[in-house]
Structure 1
Amino acid sequence: MSTTTALIPDTQAATRAQDRRIESLRTRIAGGVFALFLAGALAVPLVTSNISLAFYLLLWVTMASALNISAGFTGYLPFGFVVFYGIGAYTTGILYRIAGWPIGLALAAAGAAGILLSLLLAPTLRLKGVYFGIVSLALASIVRLVLANLPDRITGGSNGIILSGANNPILSYYAMWAVAAMTLATVLWISASALGKALKAIRDDDEAAAVVGIRVARTRLRAWVLAAFFPALAGGVEAWYTNVVDPEAAFSVLITAKSIIYAMAGGFGTVLGPLVGTGVLLGIDHVIWQRFPLVNLLLLGLFIVLLMLFLPRGILGSLVQRKPWLRRYIA
C-alpha cells in the first residue's frame, strides 16, 4: 500500500514534466513561425515598392491577434472593438496635426489613449456574452459621435483630419511591423505564462476559476488592457500611413468584423490562428479582387461561409480537433 502511495506523486510529477515539455515545444514552434513571418515582412520594402498589401497584412494580423487576447483567451467578444483603433487614429491625428507633436510621441500617446479608454470601459466586463458585445458596440458609436461633433479645430468635424507633412510610407510600414511584432510576442508570452492559463480557466468557468484562487476581475482586466493597447497603436500608425483620419473610416464596424473573421478563420484561442486566418483570407481576397473585381465581396463571402460550415473551429482549431496528436505541435 505504501509503495502504491509513493508512486502516485512520481506519476503526477512525470505528467507535469511531460506537459511542460509539450508546452515548451509548442511555444518554440509558434515563435519560429512568427519569426519567419516577421523576417519576411521586414524584407518587403527591400524587394518591392508596392508595400500596401504587406502593410495591411501586418495591420490585420495585429488586430486579429489582439482580439484573440480578449475573445480567444478570455471569452469576451467585443463588437465595438473598433473603438480602440479609432481612438488611436484620432489621438495621433490631433496631437500631430493640431498640437504639433512629433509623430513618434503622437503614436506613443495613441497607445496610452487605448489603455485609458479600456480602463474607462472596464465596468462593461461585468456583463457576459452578447450583452457585453452589444454594449461595447453602443459605446463605440457614442465615442465616434462625440469625436465627430467636437469643434472642427480639434477633430476636423465630419471631415476628419489631414496629417499634412507626415507622409512617409516606408517609416510607417516599419512602425506597423514593430506593432505587429510586439503583438505577436505578447500573445506568445501570454500563451506560455500563468496569465494565459488563468485566462483560459476564466473563459471555461469563471466561478470555478475564482474557487481555485484566480482573481477573476483583475486577470480579465489585464487581458482587456492588452487587447486595447495594440489596436490603438495600429490605428495611429495607419493614420500616419494614409495621412487621413475621418470618423466613418476610423470607427467603421467593418474593422471589428474583419478582426473577428480573421481570428475566427484561424481558430479562436490558438496562438497561430489569427496569423493563419489573416494570411489565408487576405490572400484569397487579394486574388479574387484581382481576377473578379465585380463579384469580389460575393465570392469572398461565399468562401467565408463555406469555411465556417466545414471548419467551424477555424483552420487550426478544426485541424487539431480532427487530428488530436497535433496538439503537441500547435499552440
Structure 2
Amino acid sequence: MGYENVKFAEDAVFLVTGGAGFIGSNLVEALLKKGHTVRVLDDLSQGKQSNVDMFLDNVNYTFIKGDIRDIDRCLSATKGVDFVLHQAAWGSVPRSIEMPLLYEEINIRGTLNMLEASRQNGVKKFVYASSSSVYGDEPTLPKKEGREGNLLSPYALTKATNEEYAKLYTKLYGLDTYGLRYFNVYGRRQDPDGAYAAVLPKFIKQLLDDEQPTINGDGKQSRDFTYIENVIEANLKACAASSEVAGNAFNIAYGGREFLIDVYHSLTKALGKDIEPIFGSDRAGDIKHSNADISKANKMLGYDPDYSFEKGIEEAIEWYRNEYNE
C-alpha cells in the first residue's frame, strides 16, 4: 500500500518535467522527502514558481528553466539522470480544440524530444503522463487498456501519439517507458482559477467565495476522480517496475465512479454552503462517463491506491481552506 516502501539507490537522480505544475510539484516533494536528488525542467507557462519555492533551500533540488520544445535543453537536463517523470504538457480538452497546432508542438514534439534525450543519455526509466482521454467515444465501462474508441480532441490525440512513440522507443531502442493514463487527478496545489481550471478545485474555491458554480451539462456525467497521493504512488512504482512490462500504458485511478451532481452536493455539505449550481451547456470533446479498470496497473506495477474519493476530497478541502484563509 502507498509508496513509502518503494526504494531506489541513495544516489538516484530524478528529473521531473513540468515540476512546477500541480502533479509535478507533488512528485518533487515526495522524492525530496525520500532524500533523492531531483531536477525540475519547466518553462513556467503552466506551472507556478510558487509551487516549488519551498524546495529552494534543499541541496538536492535544482530548477532548470526551459522548454521541452528545445532539444538542447532536454539533452542537458537529462544528463546523469536515472529516472524521468515526464509531466510537462498543456492540458485541457476545450483549449486544445482552440489551439491544435500548439498542442502538437508541446505535447507531441516536446515528448519526442524528451524520449530522444533520455535515450541518448542512458536514462533507466521514462515514466510519462498519459490521459483517460485516449479512450475517446468507447462507451464500455470500466475503461480497459486495449479497448479504445475514436479520439474526441487534439489533446487526446497528443496523448495517444505519445503512447505510440513511447512503445516504439522501448521496442526499437530499449528505453524502458511506462505510460500512466491519469483519470481526473485532484488535490493540493491544483489551480482553481482560469477558464480551463479542473472542476473540483474550481467548485471548492467558488463555494468558499460564496459564488454560484456552473456545471457543464446536466451533472449526470460521471468521473473516476483520482487523488494526488495515488498518482505519486503510480509514478514511483513505475520507476521501480520490471523492464518486462516496459512499453505499456496503465490506467491510474481509484476505480470508483462519482456523478458530478452528487460530488457537487457533497462539496456544499462539507463546506456548509447552501448554493444551487447553474447548469451550462456540454463541453465539446468531453467524455460523458469515465471509470477505470486498474487491474493491469495492480498486476504489473503493484499499484494499490490508498485514497478513495471520500478520503482524498477531505484532504483537498482542508488544503484549499487553509490556502484561501477560510
- TM over 0.5, yes or no? no
Point out the structure with max Rg over C-alpha. 1
Give the structure with the larger helix fraction. Answer: 1
TM-score, length-scaled by structure 2: 0.28
TM-score (norm 1): 0.27
1 or 2 for the larger relative contact order (CA 8 Å, sep ≥6)?
1
Structure number having the greater strand percentage: 2
